[in-house]
Every structure is written in C-alpha cells, then in structure tokens.
Amino acid sequence: MKASIFLMGVGMVMALYGCTMAPRYEQPPAPVPAAWPQGAAYTDMRAGSETVPVNDLVWKDFFSDDQLQQIIETALNNNRDLRIAALNVERARGLYGIQRAELLPSVDASGVYSKERRSSDLITPGYPRTFEQYSVNLGVAAWEIDFFGRIRSLKDQALQNYLATEQARRSAQIALIAQVARTYLLLAADRENLALALATFEAQQSSCDLIQRQYETGFTTKLDLSQAQTRLEAARRDIPRFTQIVAQDNNALNLLAGAVVSQDLLPEDMSAIHPPKDVAPGLPSEALLSRPDIIAAEHRLKGAYASIGAARAAFFPRISLTTTVGTASDELSGLFGSTADTWSFVPQITMPIFDGRVWAALRVSKTDREIILTQYEKSIQTAFREVADALAVRGTINQQIAAQESLVDAVAETYRLSEKRYKMGIDSYLNVLDAQRSLYAQQQVLIRLRLTELENRVVLYQVLGGGAG
C-alpha cells in the first residue's frame, strides 16, 4: 500500500509538471504591409491634436454624447445576443475546468451491503448458504498518470478555446456598442430628413396656394397650377415615408437596447448630437493585433498546437492506476475491527502496437493547424482592408461635405432667383420647380454625407479594436 501511495504522489507531480509534446508556438508574422495605404484618398495618419490613439480610449470617452451613453449602457445590460456571448464564455470556462480536473485523481468513497443465497452444491458442507457482506472503501478509479502530456495538451487546448470565447464576447460587445451608435446616428439623420420633408411640403403648400389664387384671377396658367400641385403631392408623399423610416429606426434601437428606449433619449437631429471623437490608427501591427477577433483567432491557433501535442502523446504508453483502501466484514459491527482492513493496488499500462486511427488523428491535427493558421492570416488581412476602407472615407469625406455645402448654397440661390424671375413674369414656373426639386435632393445628399462622416468615426473605432473596453 505504501508503494501505491508513493506512485500516486509521483504520478501527480508528473501530471502537473511533466513534459508535453506540443510543438513550440511562435506568433506568425502579420501578412499585411507595415504601414497603412498612402495616396490621394488618405490623410496624414499621424496622431494630431484632435485625434486620440484608439487603444487609449474606453467607449464612454469615445461616445461623449450623454443620451447615447445611456442607451449603450441599457444595451450592455439587456441585449440578448451579448447575453448569449457571455453564457458561451461561462460554458467554455466550465469545459476548461472539466479538462483541467483530468490531471488530478478523482477520489470516491463507497459503502456496499450485499446479501446472497448460494446453492448448496457450491459451498462447503456445514457453511451457511446465506452470505452477508458489509464494506466501506475509499479509492481512485482508473486515473491516468500523464507522463507524456496528453491530458495537459488537451487542458491547454481547452484553455485556448476558453480564451478565444472570451475574446469573441468582447468582439460582440464592441460590435453591439458600434451598432447602437450607428442606429442612433441613423435615427437622427432620418428625423432630420423628416423635418426637411415637412419644411419642403410647407413651402410647396404656400407656393401652390399662391398659384391657385393667381390662376383664379387669371394671372397664371392651368399648366403652372398643375405643376405646382404635382410637386406638392410629391412632397406630401415623402412625409409618411420618412415617418415610417423613423419608426423603424426606433424599433431597431429598442431591439439593440433590449428594452424600450425613452423618447427623452432620442436625438432630434444630427446637430443635437455631440460627435464621437476622431481616433488615430497607429501602426497596422499594434492596431490589428489588438482586435479581439484577431486575438481570438490566435488563441484558436495556439489550441491547434496543443491538439498536435495530444495526438503525438497518443503514440506512447498510457499508465493508469486504480487503488482502494477500506474495510469489509460479514457483520456491520465488525467493519472497523483490527482484521477487517482491505486494500487493492491495480496499476495498468497500455501500449499502442498498431492503430491506424492514431496516425490519422496526428495528420488531422496538423491539417487543422494549417487551416486555423490560414484563417488567422485571413482575419488579419480582412481587418487591414476594413481599416484601410475606413481611412479612405476619413480622408475624403470632409472634402465631399464642403463641396456639397457649396452646392446646396448654389442651388438655393438658383431657387431664389428662379422664384423671383417667375414672380416678375420673366420665367416659367417649370424652372422654379426644377430648382426646388434639385435643392431638396441636394439637401438630402448633404444630410447623408454628414451621417457618413459621423458613422465613419464609429466604424474606425470598431475596426481598430474598440479601445480598452
């Protein structure tokens, strides 16, 4: 029995601190350029006075609008997709705990009572046919001593899967924050479009009423009246359309928040929003490798290395130990007598001689590593493209907005002059309608460009990894 205790102690030390056959992991080089793209579409990428490195930000610093902050807090507490991601982390943590516990023996206690009546042909004459036995045992059943690191490799793989799941939860949280912000900005833009449609309708209504009076007094033609009524109905049509869009934006925001968002927290228009901060991208290596999806992909790659270690260890013997100590007696009162003690010591070694599945499993684990490595590299390349696209928008959007503002001013002046010329009898009302239609369209384009500029800040924040948390 002393030998079994000694062997168990040695086994526990080997299981916890023994060798492992997993290949050594080295972080693969990032398959992207060392610098962000350069050219006419990109501005200077160095951090300036108005930009902040994304890794230094938390979301409450980036989204400084108080109303948006409250909605994001509600979403983080109530969104069901994020809750599922958090539960997946708990599940992965539990699976890691199960695999880690395999390194230590499982000690069980049992108490058994049995009563048996035997055939008289099978017992010695004079002995009773009815046999009773009481026993109490404490022992370890089939504990594998991890001399070659198979269980430790599986434990390491489970750990990497858990860490990858945690990064997936963080990625889901960043995506949720960004989606809430984008929906909030979209709602503000659509409310502004609705206000523009209402203002345009009111202007068209006034013009139509004026032309109606002029037509009744003979100062204008039926054609002018018909054209004015046509444009009035077109403006009237946009009001319920944008009313519908605003309601759908509100519904989307409620779904993301996981609760009904108070009307007091909704933006009136984009001018009422405190814009998110502008962030500096830094270098590709520091920006991309800190993204949670890239970190998760690297954890999965490390897990693939550990899987190879488990597959290699399967070629070596497995040593398991079953041992028990206890007492046994044919009477309950004799269980703890001086001569009732029992023990058993059953070490077992299993040596694979020929098993094609072991070789196949090793090939599969190596192929899995190559697949996951390729996925890791593809994740980095995709992230580089996402950031480069966002930087291209950032480098050009302000120029587009400035040009569009000048265009809106020019079209507004054209509309003013056309209306003046019509009232003086110099031009037809058709020119006024064309100028008004163009002004309305260009005002909508300006709203869309301003929305794109704000959304681009959110997109940059997300694709650069979402800051510190």
Q: Where are the alpha helices (DSSP H) in 112-271?
A: 150-216, 222-257
Coil, strand or helix: which one is 133?
strand
Q: CA 386, CA 291: separation in Å to the nearest integer?
A: 12
Percent of the chain scored above 90 by pLDDT?
43
CA pseudo-torsion sign 101, 105, 110, 116: positive
Q: CA 386, CA 168: separation in Å to the nearest integer?
A: 18
Q: CA 61, CA 277: separation in Å to the nearest integer?
A: 8
| pLDDT of amino acid 469 | 58
| pLDDT of amino acid 48 | 46
On the question of pLDDT at 125 being above 90, the answer is: no
Residue type (1 letter), 78: N
| pLDDT of amino acid 364 | 93
> What is residue 29's DSSP assignment?
P
CATH 3.30.1360.170 fits 17-103+147-316+373-463, yes or no: no
| pLDDT of amino acid 166 | 93
Q: Where residue 16 falls among pLDDT bands split at 50, 70, 90?
A: very low
Contact 321, 146 (CB under 8 A): no
Q: What is the mean pLDDT of residues 129-155?
A: 85
| pLDDT of amino acid 49 | 42
Q: What is the mean pLDDT of the chain?
A: 85
CA pseudo-torsion sign 395, 396, 397, 403: positive
> What's the predicted TM-score (pTM) here?
0.84
| pLDDT of amino acid 382 | 94
Q: Where residue 56 falls among pLDDT bands split at 50, 70, 90?
A: low
On the question of pLDDT at 448 being above 80, the answer is: yes
Q: What is the per-residue pLDDT across 217-260, written as a single tens digit (0 to 9) for each?
A: 776 667 777 777 777 787 888 899 999 999 999 999 999 999 99
Integer angstrom CA distances of residue 407 from 197, 214, 434, 438: 19, 32, 15, 10
- Residue 370 CA to its chain's centroid (Å): 24
Q: What is the mean pLDDT of residues 176-182?
A: 94
